[in-house]
Amino acid sequence: MNFGEHITIDGYKGNYKKLNDKELVLKCLSKLPEKLGMKKLSQPEIYFAKGNDLKDHGGWSGFVVIEESHISIHTFPASGFVSADVYTCKNGMDTELIKEYFIKSFGLKDLEVNFIKRGTRFER
């Protein structure tokens, strides 16, 4: 048994307007915990991060702390890219639901997904 699970999602060729929509990012951070049966410990926080070089043209960065750990989203509208992660101390995460949620929310055409079992040597 491991301590928890962590999925990272890199989404490509997303919709510029959706990736640049502050309210949509907030909605995603607010609704996803409920869809996964997790409990928010705080309201989502979101910030606009201006670009810092040729590769990063800026976008929205946000997170929500959940009882089970956290969810974060970083959008890069000019590049059609989003980077997100969901980390939980629960086991049995619904990775298909999470992937579909991000595809639909941001109009993504391609995903790169990594699934990690965390704390594989955690002692109970």
Is 6 catalytic? The answer is no
Is 61 catalytic? The answer is no
Choose the catalytic residue: 74, 79, 83, 105: 74
Q: How many CB atoms lie within 10 A of CB 23?
A: 9
* pLDDT recorded at residue 18: 98
pLDDT tens figures, 24-55: 999 999 999 999 999 999 999 999 998 887 77
Q: Is the CB of residue 13 less than 8 Å from the CB of residue 109? A: yes
Is 28 catalytic? The answer is no
Which class does domain 4-52+70-110 fall in?
alpha beta
pLDDT tens figures, 64-111: 999 999 999 999 999 999 999 999 998 999 999 999 999 999 999 999
Burial tier of 121 (Cβ tally within 10 Å: 0-12, 13-18, 19+): exposed
Q: How confident is the model at residue 119 (pLDDT cuts 50, 70, 90)?
A: very high
Q: Is the CB of residue 112 less than 8 Å from the CB of residue 2? A: no
pTM of the model: 0.93
Q: How confident is the model at residue 13 (pLDDT cuts 50, 70, 90)?
A: very high
Choose the catalytic residue: 6, 30, 61, 89: 89
Choose the catalytic residue: 69, 72, 83, 105: 69
Give the residue extent of every domain in the chain.
4-52+70-110
